[in-house]
Amino acid sequence: MEISYELNEVEHVAKQLIKNATSKTLLFYGNMGVGKTTLIKAIVKILGSNDEVSSPTFSIVNEYEIENGFIYHFDLYRINDIEEAYNFGVEDYLYSEHYKLIEWPEKIEPILFDEFDEIFIDFNSKNKRILKLNIKLNTPNKA
């Protein structure tokens, strides 16, 4: 799936993502400032959370409550290696049945498992955002 959109269309894009995603683990790829957190805010709202959504750049993970569960929002930009992720208990989150929305997932790719959806966001020549959704089955690598 590929979508071209402007920021004022982000809620519609979030609805399409939720409809087409095959898992509760969504990996967000894209350069700084491309709109990953803005899209995640819309997804959290559509999934039913009334919590205030902010970038977890300094806390690494934010938790939002929804009916029958939680959404875990990760910003792994400041993580240097997998060992740091292990230190904050990333495995407990990854093995949970809750939604996991992960910015900068490159940092923990070797320990990702099961099915997840990859979301790539970039700008096109007309300064619109281009979103690509890839569905992926993964088996864990040995880190």
CB atoms within 10 A of CB 98: 15
Strands annotated E in the chain? 2-5, 25-29, 61-66, 69-75, 99-103, 114-123, 129-138
The model carries a pTM of 0.90
- Residue 142's nearest CA partner among 115, 113, 118 is 113
Q: What percent of the chain has pLDDT over 90?
A: 70
What pLDDT digit, counting tens, does each position of 45-93 carry? Answer: 999 999 988 888 778 999 999 999 999 999 999 999 899 999 999 999 9
Report pLDDT for 21. 93
CB atoms within 10 A of CB 66: 15
What pLDDT digit, counting tens, does each position of 11-22 carry? Answer: 999 999 999 999
- Domains for the chain: give ranges and CATH numbers: 2-138 (3.40.50.300)
